[in-house]
Chain A
Amino acid sequence: MTWTLACATDDIDAEDLIRWDHAGQTFALYHSPEGEFFATAGHCTHENVHLCDGLVMGHLIECPKHNGQFDYRTGEAKRTPACTALRTFPVRVEDGQVFVQVS
């Protein structure tokens, strides 16, 4: 497992997310209200819609198409039509940069 530089911390507003594509995969990177950073798979598990246009509310990400919700810290599906958990990835912050451990 290697840590891959994804973005700078100030690339993501607090309580928001951005899309990050790497090595043929797409991810969603989150900046929580407490200043922590998280990473999940980019697409909603309900349908193939990218979460990057969704709304972050506290620790929830809401899919922009059908309003399914996930806890982006754990990936747990919190509101239908999302039923299956999002895959999550370890994140490390160092010197103002966000690294993701991509499998």
Chain B
Amino acid sequence: MPKRDYSLLGPDGARAVETGLAAAEWYHSDVPRKQMKELMARSDAPAIRDTLILYGTMILTAGIGIWLWPSWWSAPFWLVYGTLYGSASDSRWHECSHGTAFKTPWMNRVVYEIASFMIMRNSATWRWSHARHHTDTYIVGRDPEIAVMRPPDLVKAVASFVGLPDVIAFFPRMIRNALSGPTPEERSFIPESEWPRVTRVARISSAIYAATIALAIWMGSILPLMVIGLPRLYGAWHHVMTGLLQHGGLADNVTDHRLNSRTVLMNPVSRFIYWNMNYHVEHHMFPMVPYHALPRLHATIRHDLPAPNRSILDGYREMWPAFRRQLAYEDFFLKRELPPTARPYRDEFHAISPGLPPGQPDITSAPATPAE
């Protein structure tokens, strides 16, 4: 069986362009224009409230953590601070990259830059990588943000809960970007006019980390790194836990987000940290709808979507066995059942397997575990 080639400059990406899978027209549910305009409407208030809670809690917990340091009594405060630093920054980076979190553009930009630094993503590079992710969601060889490739590397997936793969990849790339600009792969999706910005952001990040490390050496303590840098490791667990559910175990190389994305109902704390990205089918279908309107969008179109998973645990019960089956047979995926009220899946484009010429369908799938 041909293997998938996830390289952005490889044959699968070229084939996706040839067959029309790349930059294709995607399915979206019908929503009356008037209602969609209401859903898309921007507001500063929810994001200002959430940002004050977020940064206020971070300052408070970091302050108590520093005060109690090096006692183990500081650990719970670092856990809260780290989770907000290493996980809530992922959703803030995401929403502000879309420019939908706040109505006021400079607020989106400021929070985006802070969150990009915390989550260890070059703010110039990742803006473009995420645009490609939305154009070619889980199209092999096109999407640079495929979290779990096939066959899945489960060791890497587990290690990502403590941030290791991302952090190990980040620092060499930051230094390379600082010295010589974007890599060849990055240049495939970043316009040339933005390349100097990639270099500038990498140099600023390098300077901040160098100053933090120098302070830690001067103090003879890792305390400065507990505040800047290390939370990306010890606080990554939540954004990985929720992020793997976005597309894990579902179809690739399709043009219907109902097939390759997952909506999961979650507890309020996780939804605050994740900024409602648990409504992931809805977000991909209508990326202009702000995070605070996604529950309303979900209510509007849920008749046209597969039933959401009822909890994070329910999502993992569905996804993890699919990962394990993909270890033995990488073409396996979960096909999510639609309710009778939904428009059916389109057949065109959905029968193209990576490594096979167009017109040779070879898809093996199983219905997703029915909701209990």
Contact check, B288 vs A67: say whether CB atoms are below 8 A apart.
yes
Contact check, B23 vs A47: say whether CB atoms are below 8 A apart.
yes
Q: A48-B23, A57-B42 are in contact. Are A66 and B135 (CB under 8 A)?
A: yes
Q: A55-B37, A57-B42, A83-B191 are in contact. Are A67 and B127 (CB under 8 A)?
A: no
Nearest first, the 3 closest Cβ-Cβ pairs linking A and B are A81-B131, A55-B40, A66-B131
Interface residues of A in 74-92 (CB under 8 A from B): 79-81, 83
Shortest CB distance A22–B (Å): 21
A81 to B42, CA, bound (A): 19
Is B193 at the interface (CB under 8 A from chain A)? yes
Give the dominant DSSP class at A's interface.
Answer: loop
Contact check, A55 vs B288: say whether CB atoms are below 8 A apart.
yes
Residues of chain B within 8 A (CB-CB) of A71 are: none
Closest to B40 in A: A55
Residues of chain A within 8 A (CB-CB) of B82 are: none
A66 contacts which of B36, B41, B42, B134 (Cβ < 8 Å)?
Answer: B134
Give the dominant DSSP class at B's interface.
Answer: helix
Given A62-B99, A64-B287, A66-B135, output 16 extra A-B contacts at Cβ < 8 Å.
A16-B37, A46-B131, A47-B23, A53-B36, A54-B288, A55-B37, A57-B42, A64-B288, A65-B135, A65-B287, A66-B134, A67-B98, A67-B100, A80-B128, A81-B127, A81-B128
Contact with B along A50-66 (1 / 0, CB 8 A): 00011101000010111
Shortest CB distance A50–B (Å): 10
Q: A54-B288, A66-B134 are in contact. Are A79 and B127 (CB under 8 A)?
A: no
Shortest CB distance B352–A (Å): 20
Contact check, A67 vs B135: say whether CB atoms are below 8 A apart.
no
Interface residues of B in 15-48 (CB under 8 A from A): 23, 36-37, 40-42
Residues of chain A within 8 A (CB-CB) of B99 are: 62, 67, 69, 79
Interface residues of B in 177-202 (CB under 8 A from A): 191, 193-194
Is B105 at the interface (CB under 8 A from chain A)? yes
Q: A48-B23, A67-B100 are in contact. Are A79 and B105 (CB under 8 A)?
A: yes
Residues of chain A within 8 A (CB-CB) of B100 are: 67
Contact with A along B85-127 (1 / 0, CB 8 A): 0000000000000111000010000000000000000000001
Residues of chain B within 8 A (CB-CB) of A81 are: 127-128, 131
Residues of chain B within 8 A (CB-CB) of A62 are: 99, 288
The count of residues in chain B whose C-beta lies closer than 8 Å to any C-beta of chain A is: 21
A75 to B30, CA, bound (A): 29
Contact check, B40 vs A67: say whether CB atoms are below 8 A apart.
no
Residues of chain B within 8 A (CB-CB) of A57 are: 42
Contact with A along B135-163 (1 / 0, CB 8 A): 10000000000000000000000000000
A65 to B40, CA, bound (A): 12
A64 to B283, CA, bound (A): 12
A16 to B287, CA, bound (A): 18
Shortest CB distance B118–A (Å): 21
Shortest CB distance B126–A (Å): 12
A66 to B191, CA, bound (A): 15
17 A-B residue pairings within 8 Å (CB atoms): A16-B37, A47-B23, A54-B288, A55-B37, A55-B41, A57-B42, A62-B288, A65-B134, A65-B287, A66-B134, A67-B100, A69-B99, A79-B99, A79-B105, A80-B127, A80-B128, A83-B193
A2 to B41, CA, bound (A): 37
Shortest CB distance A55–B (Å): 5
Shortest CB distance B17–A (Å): 13
Closest to A69 in B: B99
